[in-house]
Amino acid sequence: MKHYVEIGDTDLAPLLDLNHRTVDFPAGKTIVALNEPVDKIYIVTSGWSLRARYLDDGRRQIINFQLPGDYFDLMSLVGARSDHTISAATDTTLRIYNGQDYLRAIQRSHRLAAAFWWVTVQEETILRQQIVRIGRMSAQERIANFILELNRRQNIADGDRDDFVPLPVPQAFLADALGLSVVHISRSLTSLKARDLVKTSRRGIEIIDRDSLVELAEYDPALFEPKPVPLAAQ
Amino acid sequence: MKHYVEIGDTDLAPLLDLNHRTVDFPAGKTIVALNEPVDKIYIVTSGWSLRARYLDDGRRQIINFQLPGDYFDLMSLVGARSDHTISAATDTTLRIYNGQDYLRAIQRSHRLAAAFWWVTVQEETILRQQIVRIGRMSAQERIANFILELNRRQNIADGDRDDFVPLPVPQAFLADALGLSVVHISRSLTSLKARDLVKTSRRGIEIIDRDSLVELAEYDPALFEPKPVPLAAQ
DNA sequence: CGCATGTTTGATAAACCTCAAGACCGGTGG
DNA sequence: CCACCGGTCTTGAGGTTTATCAAACATGCG
């Protein structure tokens, strides 16, 4: 668990010094409920959390996952109420900061403010990518794209260059993230295995043929790669 | 065209005084190309623009539309490159501001900064709603939801309470926004008409039975309604 | 009027969903 | 160590939704 090292390395480090508390959430527990005012910010220490909306008949759309090292609800401190639910996908540990402290810290440091903007830009990029995935890609393409995206984000958090993508949630979660049924997720994964692009196990997915996967998913990692923040108008 | 009045009424008014230029884009013209550095911000004066990504085989996913009165690329001033294309959906007029001026203005005024955060929060909400729509809703639900959303945004811009939703783009644009084929858009609209929920014409869609439409789309306008910005930590 | 663009309709195919049963796997208690 | 149990994954059959292709039909415009 070297996430702290990672966090500490960024321009966001000053955040870590602020008052905070560390809270454990068991899998399934709600972290931020629908319509709840958002006045805290969160950093995932371990586990996965997820942001989702539920339709009346029980359909669930997972909007995105928060992985270890991820910050979230940074932008929601302007008096908004949550329009979705955040809950623990696995057993999860979060550091929770007070929104006011955070705002003051941002106002003290333009460098911190810029870093925070950067995180928000990244998050919007992830949302847009999710829209392209579920709007215009086939099941296999969606899965390939999503796996590569997870892999990219996990590599950032871990610092490794690993081809194994841990997946600590059941395939039903993949289904609700990608707008597919569990059954079809399973079948599509089977196809990807048959094409020797990936191997699967209970614990995750192993990328076997990254090039083909990238081609199938039209996944351009450059679009997501963090770039140095130029700190304009500092 | 009372958009200016609207803009002038908000906390974002100081922006209007900054140096800018006004540029016309004919329908179809690219405004911000893929991979282009983003160092300007834009306000739509008239017409629609759109943000989209194209897949290699020509598939297009429209991520969202920018309507008159909308601001965009506010967040992209931290040295990011565009991961998508912005182009004019109809003939469009934009006010274009220099990013540096804008950043300085924000740093001078916490009130302006808060207003800008608010706009960004709204934009993220729209993206999340788009994900729910195309991920877990049927064609008819998607269309109903999208119409109501358009109507809400147009009412904000116009100040009216109108049940007519102008649609200055062909149905193919709806299709690419909602992840459906043109043919299926047409058929689904026919169904909605048969159920007496809407009427359609070349120029747009008229909401006939708003209650049923809201129920079908599970559309809760409260989730989007702009609320006063409390300006925490001012 | 005639053409280009957009919309609708019909027929057929593909992608994906639902239901249901069976197989697998990791843990638990005997 | 084994048997069992619950949750998860896979497979099969059949149905629904949506896509594709092609043609007919509208609409606006020069």
pLDDT band at B1 (very low <50, low <70, confident <90, very high): very low
CA–C1' distance B74–C12 (Å)? 47
Give protein residues whose Cβ lies within 7 A of nucleic acid chain C: A 138-140, 179-181, 183-184, 188, 202; B 170-172, 182-183, 186-187, 189-190, 200, 202
Residue B214 burial (C-beta neighbours within 10 Å; 0-12, 13-18, 19+): middle
* Inter-chain CB proximity B232 and A100 less than 8 Å: yes
Edge-first strand listing for the sheet containing B40-46 = B20-25, B92-98, B40-46, B71-72
pLDDT band at A232 (very low <50, low <70, confident <90, very high): very low
- Residue A3 pLDDT: 38
pLDDT band at B225 (very low <50, low <70, confident <90, very high): low
CB contact at 8 A, B104 and B113: no
Report for B112-121, B151-160, B185-194: range of highest mean pLDDT: B185-194
- CA-based nearest residue in chain B for residue A130: B131
Q: Find, among B16, B76, B86, B13, the residue nearest to B48 by Cα.
A: B86
- CA-based nearest residue in chain B for residue A51: B128
In this structure, what token pair is assigned to residue B18?
């900054």
Q: Find, among A22, A29, A154, the residue nearest to A87 by Cα.
A: A29
The sign one gets for the Cα dihedral A40, A43, A49, A51 is positive
Query: Mind listing the pLDDT tens digit for each residue in A41-77?
Result: 999 999 999 999 999 999 999 999 999 999 998 877 7
Residue A184 burial (C-beta neighbours within 10 Å; 0-12, 13-18, 19+): middle
Q: What is the fold of B3-109?
A: Jelly Rolls (2.60.120)
CA–C1' distance B208–C10 (Å)? 29
Average pLDDT value for residue range B24-38: 94
Query: Mind listing the pLDDT tens digit for each residue in A70-107?
Result: 999 887 777 778 889 999 999 999 999 998 888 888 88
- Residue A8 pLDDT: 47
* Inter-chain CB proximity A99 and B232 less than 8 Å: yes
CA distances B95 to B53, B103, B150, B177, Å, are 23, 16, 22, 25
- Three-state DSSP at B78 gives coil
- Residue B89 pLDDT: 98
For B213, phi then psi, to 5°, come to: -65, -45
- CA-based nearest residue in chain B for residue A142: B135
Q: The domain B128-223 is classified under which CATH number: 3.40.640.10, 3.20.20.100, 1.10.3720.10, 1.10.10.10?
A: 1.10.10.10
Give the percent of chain B with pLDDT over 90.
65
In this structure, what token pair is assigned to residue A193?
């295995």
- Residue B105 pLDDT: 87
Query: Mind listing the pLDDT tens digit for each residue in A124-181?
Result: 999 999 999 999 999 999 999 999 999 999 988 776 678 999 999 999 999 999 999 9
* Inter-chain CB proximity B79 and A103 less than 8 Å: no
CB contact at 8 A, B102 and B20: no
Taking the C-alpha atoms of residue B128 and residue A117, their distance in angstroms, rounded to an integer, is 19
Kindly list the residues from chain A whose CB atom is less than 8 angstroms away from the CB atom of residue B130. 131
More reliable by pLDDT, B14 or B168? B168
Taking the C-alpha atoms of residue B223 and residue B98, their distance in angstroms, rounded to an integer, is 32
Measured torsion, CA atoms of residues B73, B76, B81, B83, in degrees rounded to the nearest 10: -60
- CA-based nearest residue in chain B for residue A215: B56
- The separation between the first and the last C-alpha atoms of chain A, rounded to the nearest angstrom, is 34
How many other CB atoms sit within 10 Å of the CB of residue B19?
Answer: 8
Query: Mind listing the pLDDT tens digit for each residue in B118-150?
Result: 888 889 999 999 999 999 999 999 999 999 999
Using CB atoms, which residue from B56, B130, B232 is nearest to A77? Answer: B232
CA distances A119 to B74, B100, B192, Å, are 14, 20, 41
- Residue B4 pLDDT: 39
Domain assignments of chain A as residue spans, ordered by start:
3-109, 128-223
CA B204 to chain centre: 16
In this structure, what token pair is assigned to residue A4?
């702290």
- State the count of interchain CB pairs (< 8 A) between A and B: 146
CB contact at 8 A, B214 and B147: no
Using CB atoms, which residue from B79, B103, B230 is nearest to A228? Answer: B79
Taking the C-alpha atoms of residue B63 and residue B69, their distance in angstroms, rounded to an integer, is 18
Give protein residues whose Cβ lies within 7 A of nucleic acid chain D: A 170-172, 182-183, 186-187, 189-190, 200, 202; B 138-140, 179-181, 183-184, 188, 202
- Residue B113 pLDDT: 83
Which nucleotide has the least CA–C1' distance to A138? C15
Taking the C-alpha atoms of residue B25 and residue B93, their distance in angstroms, rounded to an integer, is 6
CB contact at 8 A, A60 and A173: no
Residue to mutate among A132, A176, A216, with most B CBs inside 10 A, is A132
Which nucleotide has the least CA–C1' distance to B172? C6
